Amino acid sequence: MNATATAGVTRRAVGAPDVSRLDWDEVGPAVELLLRDYVESAQVNAASVWARELWGHIGRGLDGGKRLRPQLVCLAYGAFGGTEAGECAAVGTSFELLHGALVVHDDVIDRDFVRRGHPNVAGIYREAGLARGLPAGEASHLGSSVAVIAGDLLLTASLRMLERTTAEPAIRSQLTEILHGAIADAAAGELADVLLARPVFGGDLAGEGDGRIDDVLDMERLKTATYSFEAPLRAGAVLAGADAGAIDAVGRVGSLVGTAYQVIDDVLGTFGDERQTGKPATSDLREGKLTVLTAFAHPESASPRSASPRSASPGSGPDLDQMRDALHEAGADSYALTLAHSLVTEALDEARRADLPPALRSELTRICNHVLHRES
Amino acid sequence: MNATATAGVTRRAVGAPDVSRLDWDEVGPAVELLLRDYVESAQVNAASVWARELWGHIGRGLDGGKRLRPQLVCLAYGAFGGTEAGECAAVGTSFELLHGALVVHDDVIDRDFVRRGHPNVAGIYREAGLARGLPAGEASHLGSSVAVIAGDLLLTASLRMLERTTAEPAIRSQLTEILHGAIADAAAGELADVLLARPVFGGDLAGEGDGRIDDVLDMERLKTATYSFEAPLRAGAVLAGADAGAIDAVGRVGSLVGTAYQVIDDVLGTFGDERQTGKPATSDLREGKLTVLTAFAHPESASPRSASPRSASPGSGPDLDQMRDALHEAGADSYALTLAHSLVTEALDEARRADLPPALRSELTRICNHVLHRES
Statement: residue A261 has pLDDT above 50: yes
Q: How large is the average pLDDT for residues A322-338?
A: 93
Please judge whether A132 and B198 are an interchain contact, meaning their C-beta atoms are less than 8 angstroms apart.
yes
Q: What is the pLDDT of residue B207?
A: 55
Element (H, E) at A117: none
B-chain residues near A159 (CB < 8 A): 156, 159
Residues A216 and A329 in one domain: yes
A164 contacts A80 by C-beta, under 8 angstroms: no
Query: If DSSP codes are grouped into helix, strand and coil, which group holds residue A310?
Result: coil
pLDDT of residue A290: 84
List, in sequence order, every residue forming a beta bridge with B118; answer none if it has no partner.
B115
pLDDT score, position B16? 40
Q: Answer whether residue B14 is part of any domain.
A: no
Q: What is the CATH number of the domain that holds B194?
A: 1.10.600.10
User: Are A162 and A175 members of one domain?
Assistant: no
Round to whole Å and give the CA distance between A351 and A361. 6
Contact residues, B window 171-200, toward A, CB-based 8 Å cutoff: 173, 176, 180, 183-185, 187-192, 194-195, 198, 200
SS3 A337: helix
* Listed residues A110, A135, A166: the one ending a domain: A166
Is A159 in CB contact (< 8 Å) with chain B?
yes
Q: Report the largest interatomic distance among the alpha carbons of chain A, rounded to a whole angstrom.
A: 63
Amino acid at B157: A
Residues 6+ apart with CB under 8 A from A85: A22, A23, A26, A27, A30
CA distance B332 to B335: 5
| Strand, coil or helix: A134 | coil
Domain's final residue, options B133, B166, B199: B166
A198 and A88 share a domain? Answer: no
Which positions 30-59 of B are in contact with A (Cβ < 8 Å)?
42, 45-51, 54
Scanning B129-148 for CB atoms below 8 A from A yields 129, 132-135, 138, 141-142, 145-146, 148
Q: What crossing angle do the helices spanning B244-271 and B212-220 adopt, rounded to 10°?
A: 110
State the pLDDT at residue A136.
Answer: 96
Q: Which of A126, A69, A93, A64 is nearest to A278 (CA)?
A: A64
pLDDT tops 90 at residue A13: no
User: Could A50 and B310 be called an inter-chain contact, meaning their C-beta atoms sit closer than 8 Å?
Assistant: no
Question: Rounded to whole angstroms, how far apart are CA atoms A309 and A303?
Answer: 10
Q: What is the pLDDT of residue A193?
A: 92
**Shared domain check, A146 and A194:** no
Q: Clarify whether residues A296 and A374 are in a common domain.
A: yes
User: What is the structure's pLDDT at B297?
Assistant: 85
User: Which of B138, B160, B194 faces A142 most closely, judged by CB atoms?
Assistant: B194
pLDDT of residue B15: 37
**Does residue B335 fall inside a structural domain?**
yes
Q: Are residues B152 and B289 in the same domain?
A: no
Burial class of residue A232 in the structure, from the number of CB atoms within 10 Å of its CB (0-12 exposed, 13-18 middle, 19+ buried): buried
Chain A residue closest to B188 (CA)? Answer: A51
CA–CA separation, B152 and B105 (whole Å): 9
Amino acid letter for position A264 = I
Last-in-domain residue among B102, B131, B166: B166
How far CA B141 is from CA of A307, B90, B148, in Å, comes to 20, 34, 10
In which region does residue B298 sit, left (phi positive, over 0), alpha (psi from -120 to 50) or beta (all else)?
beta
φ, ψ (nearest 5 deg) of residue A301: -105, 85
A204 and A122 in one domain? Answer: no
Instruction: Tell me the per-residue pLDDT of A139-190, one tens digit each, with 9 for 90 and over.
Output: 999 999 999 999 999 999 999 999 888 889 899 999 999 999 999 999 999 9
Residue type, B130: L
ipTM, 2 dp:
0.89
Q: Are residues B158 and B173 in the same domain?
A: no
Report the pLDDT value the prediction gives residue B368, as an integer from 0 to 100: 93
Residues B217, B324 within the same domain: yes
Chain centroid to CA A8: how far?
21
Domain residues for the domain of B209 are: 169-376
- pLDDT of B288 reads 75
A6 to chain B nearest CA, in Å?
A: 31
Q: What is the pLDDT of residues A281-316, one digit of tens each?
A: 677 787 777 899 988 887 654 444 444 434 344 444
Q: Name every chain A residue with its beta carbon within 8 A of the beta carbon of B189.
A: 47
Of B184, B310, B311, the CB nearest to A47: B184
Residue B48 and residue B156 in one domain: yes
Total domains in the fold of chain B: 2
Measured CA angle at B227 (ends B324, B87), to 5 deg: 140
Q: What is the pLDDT along chain B (376 residues), one digit of tens a residue?
A: 343 444 334 333 333 434 346 889 999 999 999 999 999 999 999 999 999 999 999 999 999 889 999 999 999 999 999 999 999 999 999 999 999 999 999 999 999 999 888 999 999 999 999 999 999 999 999 999 999 999 999 999 999 999 888 889 899 999 999 999 999 999 999 999 999 887 667 655 555 545 688 999 999 999 999 999 999 999 999 999 999 999 999 999 999 999 999 999 999 988 887 767 666 667 778 777 789 998 888 765 444 444 443 434 444 455 888 888 999 999 999 999 999 999 999 999 999 999 999 989 999 999 999 999 987 7
Are B90 and B215 in a shared domain? Answer: no
B156 and B79 share one domain: yes
User: Which residue is closest to A288 within chain B, CA to CA?
Assistant: B138
Nearest-angstrom CA–CA distance, B236 and A79: 44
* Residue pLDDT, tens place only, A211-245: 688 999 999 999 999 999 999 999 999 999 999 99
Whole-number pLDDT of residue B60: 96
Q: What crossing angle do the helices spanning B244-271 and B332-353 adopt, rounded to 10°?
A: 170
What is the secondary structure of A47-114 as a DSSP string?
A: SSHHHHHHHHHHHHHHTT---HHHHHHHHHHHHTT---HHHHHHHHHHHHHHHHHHHHHHHHHHT--E
Higher-confidence position of A360 and B3? A360
pLDDT of residue B205: 55
